Amino acid sequence: MISFVLGVEDLADARFAVSPLQETVLSLRVLRDPGLSASHLPWRRSVLGRLGALDTKLLFSLVGWRLALPDLLTPPPTVFAPAFEDELDVVRRSPLDLVRRDLSAVHAPRPLPEALRAATADDASVAGLCDLLCQYWRAAVEPVWPQMRLVLEADMTYRARRLAMGGARLLFADMHPNLRWRDGVLTIDRTIGEFRVASSGRGLLLIPSVFAHQPAPPVSPDEPPILAYPSRAVATLWAPAPAPDPTVLAALVGEPKARLLRLLEEPLATVELAHRLRVTPSAVSQHLRVLFDSGLVTRTRDGRRVLYHRSSLGDRLLGEPA
């Protein structure tokens, strides 16, 4: 059990942030142990085929046998939404003795895995470990980071509203069953470490997470009060997009323009379109002008002919893959 003693000033200084590095490191737990969350299985299946020649044995060894993560790999964000590279630079500058201490702490009382002993032999080895993390980020998390960030920011909006409506009690009430707020103390049950620290004016940093399956405070009591917690609506993140309803497009732009858009998966001239639709070229021209002005079709000249083609925006409107 870990407890944070928070005063009035600490609550006044409480803030939210997102951390791409922390999400990247937390995602390693899901890759290593798929039983942690069934909702992440679609992501896991898609990622395993993209890791290629990455040293997954070394990556997985960053996660302790009790699923703890080294504090040095989850540095507190100093801004609301830091770039992954900026956060990783903080790790790169970590003293070698701190790297070894934090990695040993998450594996204790067991010895440090052989892969990690080699990866922390010297500063150059630690730099190589950071490069490996960067490669993993680019392959596994960066492609879906925009969608993840939308979910995380929606959670923060919800939490901020809860805080405004009912203070800290309401803020933490439905965050997770392992959290308890009482008499100015935030208690996190079922943790690896056991300590009680006073924030003493350092505030509280709250980091919603897609990949956290339970609240994750720092392992060491020397770290400032930080809490990564499971975000809401994670189950919707990997759900397949609903199939487009063909009747909606006609309701939006009208049936004649909808039929034109469907035909323009290949470049066609006005006369050819008029022939296929069995209408006059002037009627087709009027609809094409509207579609072109709205960015749904493009046009190019081929000799004396003007060819129209559905744009990428038109593809998305029809539900076609980008």
Q: Is the pLDDT of residue 83 over 70?
A: yes
pLDDT digits (tens, 9 = 90+) for 168-178: 999 999 999 99
Q: How far apart are CA 47 and CA 204, in angstroms?
A: 33
Q: Say how far apart CA 249 and CA 263 lie, in whole Å.
A: 14
Mean pLDDT on 222-230: 92
Q: Which amino acid is at 227?
A: L
Q: What is the mean pLDDT of residues 305-322?
A: 84
The dihedral through the CA atoms of 48, 50, 56, 61 has a sign that is negative
Four-CA torsion 36, 45, 88, 22, nearest 10 degrees:
-30
For 258-286, write each residue's pLDDT tens digit.
Answer: 999 999 999 999 999 998 898 999 999 99
SS3 sequence of 155-218: HHHHHHHHHHHHHHHHHHHCCCCCEEEECCEEEECCCCCCEEEECCCCCCEEEEECCCCCCECC
Query: Which tokens belong to 305?
Result: 């002919």
Paired sense of beta strands 179-182 and 185-188, if any:
antiparallel
Domain boundaries 246-318, corresponding CATH code:
1.10.10.10
Query: What single letter denotes the amino acid at residue 107?
Result: H
**CB-count exposure of residue 232 (10 Å: 0-12, 13-18, 19+):** middle
- 87 exposure class (CB count in 10 Å sphere: 0-12, 13-18, 19+): buried
Does residue 317 surpass a pLDDT of 90? Answer: no
Peptide bond into 109 cis (omega under 30): yes
Q: What are phi and psi of 206, to 5 degrees?
A: -110, 125
- Indicate the pLDDT class of residue 322, thresholds 50, 70 and 90: low
What's the Cα-to-Cα distance from 265 to each of 64, 199, 261, 313, rounded to whole Å?
A: 52, 61, 7, 12
Q: What is the pLDDT of residue 191?
A: 87
Q: What is the pLDDT of residue 319?
A: 75
Do 232 and 210 form a contact (C-beta atoms < 8 A)?
no
pLDDT of 250 reads 80
Looking at residue 36, its pLDDT comes to: 85
Q: Which helix (H) or strand (E) holds 306?
A: strand 305-310
pTM attached to this predicted model: 0.75
pLDDT for 25 beyond 90 = yes
Binned at pLDDT 50, 70 and 90, residue 179 comes out as: very high
| 244 against 199, higher pLDDT | 199
pLDDT at 244 over 70: no
Residue 211 pLDDT level (bands cut at 50, 70, 90): very high
- As a whole number of angstroms, the distance between CA 277 and CA 137 comes to 49
Whole-number pLDDT of residue 302: 84
**pLDDT class for 252, splitting at 50, 70, 90?**
confident
Cβ density class 127-164: b for 16+ within 10 Å, e for less: ebbbebbbbbbeebbeebbeebeebbbebbeebeebbe
Domain ranges for the chain: 2-236, 246-318
Question: Virtual CA dihedral for 295, 300, 306, 307, nearest 10 degrees?
Answer: -70
> pLDDT tens digit string along 99-147?
999 999 999 999 999 999 998 989 999 999 999 999 999 999 999 999 9
Q: What is the mean pLDDT of the chain?
A: 91
Judge whether residue 241 has pLDDT over 70: no
